[in-house]
């Protein structure tokens, strides 16, 4: 058995949070700790996360090639605007069908906060797009509108899908503009 180098102490370095003079009561009376404000630390956090789109991969390959495909259950014709390998009612395998990404706004929301990737774009508009050929809705971003002018009159307006010039292999590779 090989001998490992086991250190009895934690090696110190200059990484992380360094704090000097953090208030703490002196002596044995620790009762004031109940009123101490919480310590809040801001620390960066980053990981590499590998994931697979699995059977949804053709959807992202289509977006990369400026094409929009949806899933249809062959027997019933029920069509999903979002990628699905299997029908949610019968469990049967769906087939890919290409449609033109033209639809109408079914619902929308103005997002004033988002994930790290979207923070620089806040506020932004998310819409649920209703396609004539689909039985479900598609969630996408609406660009080219003033978020301060968001109004119920947007419901029912025609939209047209547009593609990022440089694909990121993300759902945001397609976005929408008003068609009128």
Q: What is the pLDDT along the chain (180 residues), one digit of tens a residue?
A: 555 667 777 777 777 777 777 888 888 899 988 888 888 877 788 899 898 999 999 999 999 999 999 999 999 999 999 999 999 999 999 999 999 999 999 999 999 988 877 788 889 999 999 999 999 999 999 999 999 999 999 999 999 999 999 999 999 999 999 997
- Strand segments, DSSP code E, in the chain are 69-72, 79-80, 95-98, 102-111, 124-130, 137-142, 158-163, 174-178
Residues sharing a CB contact under 8 Å with residue 89, sequence separation 6 or more, in sequence order: 73, 76, 78
b/e map of 69-87 (b: 16 or more CB within 10 Å)?
A: bbbbbeeeebbbbebbeeb
pLDDT at 116: 76
CA dist 48 and 68 (Å) reads 29
Q: Are 111 and 140 in contact (CB under 8 A)?
A: no
Q: Are 97 and 70 in contact (CB under 8 A)?
A: yes
pLDDT at 14: 74
CA atoms within 13 A on the CB side of 110: 11
Of the candidates 177, 169, 179, which has an alpha carbon nearest to the alpha carbon of residue 83? 169
Of the candidates 99, 102, 79, 116, which has an alpha carbon nearest to the alpha carbon of residue 178? 102
């Amino acid at each position: 058995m090989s001998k490992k180098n086991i250190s009895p102490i934690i090696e110190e370095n200059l990484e992380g949070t360094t704090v000097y003079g953090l208030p703490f009561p002196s002596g044995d009376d620790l009762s004031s700790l109940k009123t101490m404000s919480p310590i809040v630390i801001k620390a960066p956090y980053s990981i590499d996360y590998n994931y697979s789109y699995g059977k949804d991969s053709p959807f992202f390959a289509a977006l990369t090639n400026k094409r929009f495909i949806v899933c249809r259950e062959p027997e019933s014709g029920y069509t999903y605007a979002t990628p699905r390998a299997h029908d949610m009612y019968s469990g049967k395998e769906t087939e890919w069908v290409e449609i033109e990404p033209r639809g109408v706004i079914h619902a929308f929301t103005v997002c004033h906060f988002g994930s790290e990737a979207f923070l620089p774009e806040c506020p932004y508009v998310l819409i649920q797009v209703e396609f004539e050929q689909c039985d479900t809705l598609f969630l996408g971003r609406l660009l080219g509108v003033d978020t301060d002018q968001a109004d119920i009159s947007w419901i029912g307006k025609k939209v047209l899908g547009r593609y990022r010039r440089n694909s990121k292999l993300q759902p945001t590779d397609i976005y929408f503009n008003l068609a009128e």
